[in-house]
Structure 1
């Protein structure tokens, strides 16, 4: 393993065009999980796979669903409320005036028969698709996340909080950050480069004026001493960022999957998360993989852990479990693979039950990462718990 190097990760805010689309798609998933039980539907039977496109004053949402009967007016209002909450009230993209097309339709019967546990040959709920999913954890931050991504997220979350509470009225919803971390002896010790590009609502604001607004949040986000005389700042390097959001750049669901996961510090299986219910292993198995990897590290069994799961559509059990502790493991990887298989049911139904995923908990994941967040009392971010650590230690 290299001991001294630079590594960079980026984050984007809730107002980034792609994140606007992720948020809208996840709002529809949450809506189905809220409305389904009200109509007497079993949450285990709810299905949603929603994709959103957003451009200048236009939102298009399409996909396959099964669940409650929700009128188009209610769907449209949920979309407008999401755009309003993010903060878009500009001429080119406004929550009140944007044109919204809703193109949702029933889930394919061919897919449904492979997933539902209703056929004689399919007694268990099968995976909603084939694919590989990765989880990762590292002890370089208290949240067991890679430092470059963790701090890139934190910078934008702090600015967003200030924008929402009215402290930063001249900053818009759209922004990006990038943090280059210096590692020595395998540990993060400083920040070499900082990039923040932030939309401003006063057209003639200069880059230096934007820096005055955002620099305090950058310094607050980063550990003390990480910014030094070698740190290079890039704040609005193009000089102007007035036109933001979908008016400036078309957004699509699922285009920020590395931002959603580990910032490039670990592999990604390729499938996006947002807009999908928990039968889609792209989402639920990736959450399970993070949960298991995090518990391996939390248990002190490794300093770093990458975990891969693989599934086939319609098949319940994972095809394979692979663990790599990058030379930091206290026990062998094959023992860890056996331990995680014994400690958690990794069928789609087992994951959904263990992590309690049949709930409206997804819109909150759409920005600032699906991982490294504190578990919520209502079940959100349940995959961030470390309640499996003792069981894993006993299993090895």
Structure 2
């Protein structure tokens, strides 16, 4: 993706309350429960969330102590931590359907260590790692700032900060940066769409989010006022899984490099380390970071 010319590049991020990320979070909650009980558990959990409904499906193998009731409660706890207690989607009364079943014996043969055979992978796949000196985290700058804006909003919302008093968990951000000679020099536009409480002033939301974005972007990087878009389609009260169905693994570009690098297609959430979609992607990122950090 990178070259030494002058160009614009855009990346987006989504908040923890975005329907797809709610699904990712629940799938990883299931994974965490199994790995905490037994580090050699096998998990491939897919989640769907919609209006007051959570559906868990997939393959698992682990100790009997990880019961359906435990996992259902874990899903509710994850939704509660995100902040959903709304009429259309609440941790209290959302119906949770459980369709997790035993891992396929055919997959297990390829994965389990036996005799002189090391632990294997349950599938083939293509994974990419990427790193760049554009930011201290060695992540591409457009994605880094898109993430950071939503992280700040989340932290302020959960802390009860007045700047986020009207905001709800579902949100998206998009940042376009201008590059000169291959280096980012400023933002040409920023878009934020955020769920909010009924009756909230759009002008106030814009003002408060503007102060947050100015805190996040480097000095002098704020785009022109007419290129800073907040809830450009208007009122955004009905959001989260009540406003749009969410599925595990639909935000793979947000989860990686924001389009700055190729992607093999595999998603991360809900998968134990024998699923190379996740573990090998992490390994590739580790290698890329070390190569770039080492000059």
TM tier relative to shorter chain: over 0.9
- Structure 1 residues 2, 299: CA separation in 2 closer, same or farther (over 3 Å shift)? closer
Partner of 1:132: 126
Partner of 1:163: 157
Partner of 2:7: 5
- Quote the offset at 1:68 in angstroms: 1.6
Partner of 1:236: 231
Task: Compute the RMSD of aligned alpha carbons.
Answer: 1.2
Q: Is the 8 A contact 2:189 2:224 kept in 1?
A: no
- Quote the offset at 1:281 in angstroms: 0.4
Partner of 2:190: 194
CA distance in 2, matches of 1:242, 1:228: 26
Partner of 2:251: 256
Q: Is the 8 A contact 2:166 2:200 kept in 1?
A: no
1:72 aligns with 2:68: yes
Q: Is the 8 A contact 1:59 1:98 kept in 2?
A: yes
How many residues matched?
Answer: 290
Partner of 2:26: 24
- Quote the offset at 1:78 in angstroms: 0.5
CA distance in 1, matches of 2:102, 2:217: 46
Relative contact order, higher structure (CA 8 A, sep 6+): 2
Partner of 2:261: 266
CA distance in 2, matches of 1:124, 1:192: 51
Aligned to 1:110, the other structure's residue is in SS state helix
Query: Please, which runs of 5 or more residues in structure 2 have no aligned partner?
Result: none
Partner of 1:226: 221
Aligned with 1:58 (options 33, 53, 57): 53
Matches within 5 A, 1:31-110: 31-36=33-38, 43=39, 45-69=40-64, 70-110=66-106
CA distance in 2, matches of 1:87, 1:264: 29
CA distance in 2, matches of 1:169, 1:108: 47
Tell me the TM-score normalised to structure 1 length: 0.72
- Quote the offset at 1:229 in angstroms: 3.8
Query: Please, which runs of 5 or more residues in structure 1 have no aligned partner?
Result: 37-42, 301-396
Aligned with 1:213 (options 186, 208, 213): 208
Deviations along 1:328-386, one digit per CA (max 9) or x if unpaired, are xxxxxxxxxxxxxxxxxxxxxxxxxxxxxxxxxxxxxxxxxxxxxxxxxxxxxxxxxxx
Q: Is the 8 A contact 2:189 2:223 kept in 1?
A: no
Q: Is the 8 A contact 2:190 2:223 kept in 1?
A: no
Matches within 5 A, 1:323-338: none
* Structure 1: 4+ residue segments shifted above 3 A: 228-231
Q: Is the 8 A contact 1:12 1:177 kept in 2?
A: yes
Q: Is the 8 A contact 1:9 1:149 kept in 2?
A: yes
Tell me the TM-score normalised to structure 2 length: 0.96
- Quote the offset at 1:2 in angstroms: 4.2
Q: Is the 8 A contact 1:177 1:195 kept in 2?
A: yes
Q: Is the 8 A contact 1:206 1:239 kept in 2?
A: no
Q: Is the 8 A contact 2:188 2:224 kept in 1?
A: no
